[in-house]
Amino acid sequence: MKKEEEMTTTAPDGMTRFLWWLSAADADILKDCKTEKERYRIIGISVLVTWMFATLAWGYFFSTIVNDDMVVAGLALFFGFAILSVDRTLIAAMSRGNGGIKVMPVIFRLVLAVTIGLFISQPVVLMLFKKDIDAQLELSKQTKLDAYREQLVKLNAAQKAALQQSMDEGKLLLSRKEAELKVYKDNYIKETDGTGGSGRIGESAIAKVKKLAWLKSEEELQAMQRTWEPQQQQLQAQMAKMHSVDSLKETVYLSTLTNGFLAQVEALHELTETHPPVKQRYRLIVFIITLIEVMPLLSKILMPKGEYEEKLAAATAQGVASAQLETDAGKALQEHYQAAALQADKETVDHLFAATGDIRKEQADALVKEWRNREHSQYQHLWQQAKKLLLGKIM
Which tens digits make up the pLDDT trace of 156-165?
Answer: 888 888 888 8
Tens of pLDDT, residue by residue over 41-73, are 888 888 888 888 888 888 888 887 788 889 989
At 221-244, the pLDDT tens digits run 888 888 888 888 888 888 888 888
- CA distances for 58 relative to 52, 55, 65, 109, 321, angstroms: 10, 5, 11, 22, 44
256, 219 contact by CB (below 8 A): no
Rounded-to-10 torsion of CA 84, 86, 91, 97: 170
Q: Are 51 and 84 in contact (CB under 8 A)?
A: yes
Q: Where are the beta strands (DSSP E) in the chain?
A: 96-97, 100-101
Contacts of 55 (CB under 8 A, 6+ apart): 76, 77, 79, 80
**pLDDT more than 70, % of the chain:** 82
Inter-residue contact 386 to 367 (CB < 8 Å): yes
Distance between CA 157 and CA 114 in Å, rounded? 52
Q: Is 59 exposed, middle or buried (0-12, 13-18, 19+ CB in 10 A)?
A: buried
- Count of all residues that appear for the chain in the document: 395
Task: Please say whether the beta carbons of 93 and 109 come within 8 A.
Answer: yes
The helix/strand/coil state of 227 is helix
What are the CA-CA distances from residue 22 to residues 40, 43, 231, 286, 301 (Å)?
A: 9, 8, 80, 24, 16
pLDDT, position 371: 65
Q: How confident is the model at residue 95 (pLDDT cuts 50, 70, 90)?
A: low
Asked whether 181 and 222 are in contact (CB, 8 A), the reply is: no
